[in-house]
Amino acid sequence: MRRVWYWFIILALFVLFIIITFGCSKRKNPERAIIPPEGTVMTMWISSDNLENNAYGDPSGRIFYVYFPPNCGEGGRRYPVLYLLHGYGESFYYYDKIHNISKISDRLIARKEIQPMLIVMPDGSNLFGGSYYTNSEILTKEVIYSDFGGRYEDYIAKELRSFIDSLLFVRGKLKPSSTLEDTIYYKTHRAISGYDMGGYGALKIAMKYPGLFGSVSALSPYPVYFTLGEKDTLIDGESRFRVPQEWINTIFFEENGFDSLGDTSSYYHMYEKLQEEGIFKMPHTARLFAMASAFSPHPGVRVAEPETVSTFFKRSFEGALGIDLPMDDSAKTMFFAWNHLWRKHDLKVILDSLFEDENMNPFEETRLYLDCGNQDQFALAQTRAFHLFLSEKEVDHLYDEYSGYGDFFAGSDNFLYDRLEKVLKFHSEIFPKPENEAPEIVAIEPQEVVVDSTLKVEVTATDPDDDSLVLTAEFLTFNLEPIEEWPPNAEFTDFGNGEGLLSFIPDTSQIGIFRVKFKASDGRLWDEEVVSIRVKEE
């Protein structure tokens, strides 16, 4: 038995020797993984007049991120800009710190799959976990408005947008007599997108300001059609809508454990329970309160509508400020809150009103992209119904309802990394293409080298378009005679960032003059530089 193992070990060692000797031969030009040039994510700050003196005490000064592509601003180049709005329970830093938007962008730019762009990542968070990018206003039947939780729609569409438009790097043209506010001339170079709550905000802002954005995309937007499932009831000759029954079942019974409808104690402890459990354990309840703070804040000075008093959740504000839910503890719809306050923020209702009342398609000159996972518990039903409504109204749009694979189901954010790639490509295709400029090789002086010593020629190229460059070298002639093959003692390395190096150690048979051509190409245009190299004896 020992002899069998002895010969087995000998055979294994022999096979290993053959593999090492003959199977791992060296290559003259081994492949290298080229690391793409890196862009920069800059932390910026803006003081917002629209968020000042809000009832929550949320800061009016807001930090936001801006992604600048590699070599941004060199040569005075300007860029298109994409506004990327975060989801509920998130903040401005999620796209970079969690979802790696800068790495995705760097890679796609290096591969020329997208054009360089600015990506602005604002902060839409508040005390309730999310502003829904909505102007939180108090409205009574007398149509009197006052600020409540902050005017987040105006903050994004007016303040922040105007601030970004004023940056030197934003591409677009103004008429000679225009001011920065006259931004319709930037439209084709500006886009807006978002995930979840951010998708809702992106669509809402794009619909209400059709002159601002040339394209809009929404990833699993929620809510997008929250009136889906509501019941139309005729009361005193008036058509009234009721809160969808699915909301009652999910919020009252599944998340808050009501024993029965009319459970007043459980009803008025919903917010306290939410604070104890957290938004991820009670996601539908959390969103209900966040949407109420945006859509139906409770008047603090004026007398509230009589029916909303029973649904009033007071916060620790001065006076009687708080929020009104659209249904009471018995699941009775509060018709003023639901019909006059909430419904005007439903995207399907907004779009339908624009078509019917104003004969206007806000997406007529704005390209639109929607997507949703086929197992998304929040957004699927609403997004699918909104897509069908868009089709019914003959609104040109792209819709992608994607599936998972294996054990990975297509939930709300399972494949967000891949979907961000699609979004960047979608908007890049719509942004006007920049006029391509040829790269330029920095002038190289004639070279001399002594036999058996090393010559190193550094090659540098620049490109005003910040495209990825490929550098090559070719030996053309030796003593005016054409060269068929690359000299065995010469090597050229392209470092992948517009820099290269030629190394050459000539021998005595190569005494004379070589002519070498260096070429820099961005895939469409190129530049060439021919350099003479004199090889001499000591």
> Residues 213-238: pLDDT tens digits?
999 999 999 999 999 998 877 566 66
CATH fold label, 40-225+346-430:
Rossmann fold (3.40.50)
In the chain, what percentage of residues exceed pLDDT 70?
81
Q: Taking residues 464-482, what's their average pLDDT? A: 85
pLDDT tens string 134-186: 998 876 555 455 677 889 999 999 999 988 887 655 655 544 444 444 444 57
**Confidence grade of residue 317 (pLDDT, cut at 50, 70, 90):** very low
What is the layout of strands, in order, in the sheet containing 490-494? 440-441, 455-462, 499-504, 490-494
Please give, one letter per residue, the 3-state secondary structure of 153-222: HHHHHHHHHHHHHCCCCECCCCCCCCCCCCHHHHHHHEEEEEECHHHHHHHHHHHHCCCCCCEEEEECCC
Residue 328 amino acid letter: D
Question: Between 380-392 and 347-358, two packed helices, what is the crossing angle to 10 degrees?
Answer: 10
pLDDT tens string 10-34: 555 555 555 444 444 433 433 444 5
The highest-level CATH class for domain 440-536 is: mainly beta
pLDDT tens string 184-212: 457 888 999 999 999 999 999 999 999 89
The pLDDT, as a whole number, for residue 303 is 57
The pLDDT, as a whole number, for residue 3 is 54
Contacts of 274 (CB under 8 A, 6+ apart): 282, 285, 286, 289
The pLDDT, as a whole number, for residue 14 is 55
Decide if pLDDT at 513 tops 70: yes
List the beta bridge partners of residue 491.
503
Please, where in the chain does CATH 2.60.40.10 lie? 440-536
Please, where in the chain does CATH 3.40.50.1820 lie? 40-225+346-430
Residue 212 amino acid letter: L
